[in-house]
Copies of this chain bind each other. A is one copy, B any other.
């Protein structure tokens, strides 16, 4: 019995990995159950037995990616520069997710609800709440709409992955090239320091996440006193 459960679990995981690749390559509408079964080396009946339908399989793939992002948001630093780099590093780690969302945006949806709409909304609300909290704590300037800052941080991270042909023309590099990532991180660091109220406080401030404003200022001063 235990062996059978383990086998079934392994089969489910193989199907989910194959489905993630197929959905990234073709989108929900374009993906074919046959192709997913072939990629996973299982038969189609097994796939339907495990997941019921293509849409349900898509929901589960997306849902697990959203859960990963919830954890990533929990660890989002308050400091703007670090938050930007955190978002960039996590976005570039999962291009399949970017492509799935891009297919969604292009496919005609009619009146259909987004798959996993409530989970996504909860995730965004959490992101906005994180940004608003950082704003109340003085990490983000008071005169900016945190929602639009969040949109822009995601945009600066995800756009190069989503429009790779543009990045290639502009830089001669693929957006996944370590050299491009280094250049991009350097730029995002600059951007974060520009946007923070106390730019120099950004350097080395990973030590101060989650601490009070008073101790943050102290840490910032320490950092500043080290600067030339």
A: residues with CB less than 8 A from B are 25, 27, 99, 101-106, 108, 114, 117, 120-121, 124, 128, 141, 143-145, 147-152, 154-156, 158-160, 162-167, 169-171, 183-184, 186-187, 190-191, 194-195
Residue of B nearest to A123 (CB): B169
Contact of B167 with A151 in the complex, beta carbons under 8 Å: yes
Q: Given A114-B165, A128-B170, A170-B128, are A149 and B187 also a contact pair (CB < 8 Å)?
A: yes
Main secondary structure of the interface of A (DSSP, over half): helix
Q: Given A154-B159, A186-B145, are A104 and B170 also a contact pair (CB < 8 Å)?
A: no
Contact of B148 with A152 in the complex, beta carbons under 8 Å: no
Residue of B nearest to A143 (CB): B190
Chain B residues lying within 8 Å of A150, measured Cβ to Cβ, are 170
Contact of A187 with B120 in the complex, beta carbons under 8 Å: no
Q: How far is the CB of A93 from chain B (nearest CB, A)?
A: 18
Complex Cα–Cα for A191 and B80 (A): 14
Q: How far is the CB of A140 from chain B (nearest CB, A)?
A: 11
Complex Cα–Cα for A190 and B140 (A): 13
Contact of B104 with A191 in the complex, beta carbons under 8 Å: no
Chain B residues lying within 8 Å of A108, measured Cβ to Cβ, are 25
Complex Cα–Cα for A90 and B151 (A): 19
User: Contacts A105-B163, A114-B169, A155-B160 given; 20 further ones with Cβ under 8 A?
Assistant: A25-B108, A101-B165, A102-B102, A105-B164, A105-B165, A121-B169, A124-B166, A124-B170, A144-B190, A145-B187, A150-B170, A151-B160, A154-B166, A155-B155, A155-B156, A155-B159, A156-B156, A159-B162, A162-B162, A194-B195
Chain B residues lying within 8 Å of A145, measured Cβ to Cβ, are 183, 186-187
Residue of B nearest to A120 (CB): B169
What are the 5 A-B residue pairs with the smallest beta carbon separation, nearest first? A155-B159, A148-B187, A155-B155, A124-B170, A152-B156
